Amino acid sequence: MVPQILFEDKDIIVVVKPRGVSSQSSSGFEEDMVSLLKKHLGKDAYIGVIHRLDKPVYGIMVYGKNKKSTELLSNELRQKNIEKSYAALVEGLPLKNHGELRDYIKKYDNNTSKVVDKNTIGAKEAVLNYEVIDSFQIEDMCITRLKINLVTGRHHQIRLQCASHGFPLLGDHKYNKRLSNKKFEYDKVLALAAINLSFIHPKTNKRLNYKIDADF
């Protein structure tokens, strides 16, 4: 498997992570993005992980090709200067055509997160903005297409926040409770994709923007 490369120079590489592939090195025998990129760049290549996507999510990612670029981009991420947009299909229709979701999230050891009270030990604030693009019907259910901009980057943030606010993602076998009783054709894959990534190049200081279309 060779991931789609959107941009590459001596400092960074921008790629499209496929579904089912981990963003960083994994302990199992499955290929991950770091091992895939080393097949392209060489087994001794430096691959700096800057941000992550859930394994079942596909979309645009940037990796550093040296320590300095990785540190600079990681700092930009902490400063919230890296902009990320997602496309999602959710069940139901949000009350507003655009709005903000703001919660406190805690990650647990079983690779799940929960919305908790802000005073809970380990709780972190999670913020995203959404916009309704369109909606349609599947059988007797309203499906809405959203564009989502992440303000923070918490564990399973989009999936958890959408579910907790009453519009879970199609194909989300972890947070969509409907899937335990009934499944649709769309539920074969998680309907979530990182479609836009914008950041300042760590060496040239020019803003770079990359976009792809969602396949759902």
Q: Report the CATH number that the domain containing residue 66 is assigned in CATH.
A: 3.30.2350.10
Residue at token pair 């479609």: 195
One domain, residues 69 and 96? no
Contact predicate 180/108, CB 8 Å: no
Measured between alpha carbons, how far is 72 from 107 in angstroms, rounded to an integer? 27
One domain, residues 96 and 186? yes
Higher-pLDDT residue of 26 and 183 is: 183
pLDDT tens across 75-129, in order?
999 999 999 999 999 999 999 999 999 999 999 998 999 999 999 999 999 999 9
Q: Is residue 34 part of a domain?
A: yes
Contact predicate 183/128, CB 8 Å: no
Q: Is residue 118 part of a domain?
A: yes
Looking at residues 9-32, what average pLDDT do you find?
Answer: 90
Res. 27: pLDDT tops 80: no
Measured between alpha carbons, how far is 134 from 132 in angstroms, rounded to an integer? 6
One domain, residues 180 and 104? yes
- For residue 110, how far is the Cα from the chain centroid? 19
Res. 29: pLDDT tops 80: no
What's the predicted TM-score (pTM) here? 0.94
- For residue 46, how far is the Cα from the chain centroid? 23
Q: Please give the span between the terminal C-alpha atoms of the chain, in angstroms, as a whole number.
A: 22
One domain, residues 101 and 182? yes
One domain, residues 18 and 94? no
One domain, residues 69 and 95? no
Q: Is residue 148 part of a domain?
A: yes
* Count of structural domains, the chain: 2
One domain, residues 104 and 13? no
One domain, residues 57 and 111? no
Measured between alpha carbons, how far is 51 from 171 in angstroms, rounded to an integer? 23
Least trusted range by pLDDT, from 6-15, 21-30, 42-51, 172-181: 21-30
Res. 187: pLDDT tops 70: yes
Res. 15: pLDDT tops 70: yes
Res. 10: pLDDT tops 70: yes
One domain, residues 123 and 149? yes
Residue 139 banded pLDDT, cuts 50, 70, 90: confident
One domain, residues 48 and 90? no
Would the CA dihedral through 192, 198, 200, 202 be positive or negative? Answer: positive
User: Which residues have a Cβ under 8 Å from the Cβ of 180 and sit 6 or more positions away?
Assistant: none
Q: Is residue 165 part of a domain?
A: yes
- What percent of the chain clears pLDDT 70, i.e. is strictly above it? 99
Give me the pLDDT at residue 2, please.
76
Contact predicate 45/51, CB 8 Å: no
Q: Which domain holds residue 61?
A: 4-82+199-211
Of 20, 154, 212, 185, the C-alpha closest to 89 is 185
Q: Is residue 216 part of a domain?
A: no
One domain, residues 101 and 68? no
One domain, residues 188 and 93? yes
Measured between alpha carbons, how far is 126 from 150 in angstroms, rounded to an integer? 9
